[in-house]
Structure 1
């Protein structure tokens, strides 16, 4: 993933994680990281604002790549590119936004697995430094927000309700993180098939959930109620209808 692992960022991340592992987070200075990464102190601060930032430098580039990848699949972007004009908001039945979000999350997973040594060392470091765990939570939230915004803008109107988009985005991130942590704890496991299956389950649930929630004429979701009633003996249609009507009162 060349767009994510640029040479300077790769050197800085690897150098920082290695130094933090050997010397401790508090015991490592910015100057030592810059020297190990073979960049000047000025260059370091142009690219990274702090020691904390350099640990997650590739995450920042990865998030940017995710946003760009999703933006390229937006129907309005595709229509504008094909026609050469800004067509405004459009819907494209050939684009499955749920699938695109899962594809973006898969790219994040593959990045971690592809940078095995750095990912494992960083995971161990996160267990030791609370500030880095807090930063990881912020990064997780940014992925959720990017996925949610994409779904709101890309799903057809009857499927783009805020709560549904938030729920799907959060579910994808939660499943991704749970399976990634399993891999980080036991990197000998091959968990990509499990990730794919989990994402497929989430997509099916999202589609079924949409199908189960019809819209009224004004576009608002119709709330369904399940009513259970009991009638004595052999009841005819009138008695059953009356019992159901009474239960609804």
Structure 2
């Protein structure tokens, strides 16, 4: 991923969140934020437009990154089914749109974890300012809409129903936000494995729901099973075989 925050951008976001936290959102002026960020008032408004916008400035850039990332997976812009039939072109079978949506959501998660102090300060600020929580809901909806549009435009015709695309996009965002909030409340936790597992479950359900075969995980071919069993100590081969038989049963 390209660098989301320039130096000036980062200064303004961090300065604004720091001032809002120390002085209160309503009592902090744009002039104070501009002075703390060492930019002019005109530059501030050209970049952010308002106090509310600067709090979520990272999301604006992240949304752009998400759209660019997803667009790069398309072999072509989607056309009508009739024109597709005429020219004999279709969707790239090597691209899994569900996987790409999860990859984009993972990028957003990694950004928040990578900007630890800013993310934690923003989360604390949102608990204090109701209007910022409202803005957060709007931002969440924009991620959902970007994911939904991508799925509608990229899934094959038999899987790209509006309902299915909306449901998967909303589920990915909801899972992402739930796990991110867990991390924000306890930033010492490594929740990336939880996120990966949850995304894999969503993909599996989406593919099975559309009548497809379950996605292979970790290079395991469809139709095969992975059995995990835990044995204490240093078991003999017969003990291992017995444990596997019991797990299979």
TM-score range, shorter chain: 0.7 to 0.9
Contact 1:101 1:147 in 2 (8 A): yes
Contact 1:17 1:55 in 2 (8 A): yes
Deviation for aligned residue 1:200:
0.3
Note the residue ranges of structure 2 that are not aligned, 5 or more in a row.
78-86, 213-249
Deviation for aligned residue 1:88:
10
**CA–CA distance in 2 between the matches of 1:95 and 1:193?**
23
**CA–CA distance in 1 between the matches of 2:92 and 2:2?**
30
Q: 1:106 to 1:88 in 2, by over 3 A?
A: farther
**CA–CA distance in 1 between the matches of 2:127 and 2:2?**
28
Question: Is 1:146 the counterpart of 2:146 in the alignment?
Answer: yes
Contact 1:4 1:62 in 2 (8 A): yes
1:204 match: 204
Question: Is 1:72 the counterpart of 2:72 in the alignment?
Answer: yes
2:124 match: 124
**CA–CA distance in 1 between the matches of 2:56 and 2:37?**
15
Give the structure with higher Rg (CA).
1
Q: 1:117 to 1:45 in 2, by over 3 A?
A: same
1:103 match: 103
Q: Deviations over 1:204-248 (max 9, x none)?
A: 000100117xxxxxxxxxxxxxxxxxxxxxxxxxxxxxxxxxxxx
Residue 158 of structure 1 aligns to a residue whose secondary structure is coil
2:93 match: 93
1:57 match: 57
Q: Deviations over 1:148-177 (max 9, x none)?
A: 000000000000000000000000000000
TM score, norm. by length of structure 1 = 0.79
Deviation for aligned residue 1:75:
2.6
Deviation for aligned residue 1:2:
4.6
TM score, norm. by length of structure 2 = 0.79
Aligned CA-pair RMSD: 1.7
Contact 1:76 1:88 in 2 (8 A): no
Residue 128 of structure 2 aligns to a residue whose secondary structure is coil
2:27 match: 27
Q: 1:89 to 1:60 in 2, by over 3 A?
A: farther
Residue 95 of structure 2 aligns to a residue whose secondary structure is coil
Contact 1:3 1:61 in 2 (8 A): no
**CA–CA distance in 2 between the matches of 1:121 and 1:169?**
27
1:168 match: 168
Q: Deviations over 1:43-73 (max 9, x none)?
A: 0011111000000111100100000100010
What is the count of residue pairs matched by the alignment?
204
**CA–CA distance in 2 between the matches of 1:76 and 1:105?**
22
Deviation for aligned residue 1:182:
0.3
Q: 1:37 to 1:88 in 2, by over 3 A?
A: farther
1:193 match: 193
**CA–CA distance in 1 between the matches of 2:11 and 2:52?**
15
Residue 211 of structure 1 aligns to a residue whose secondary structure is coil
Give the alignment of 1:176-191 within 5 angstroms: 176-191=176-191
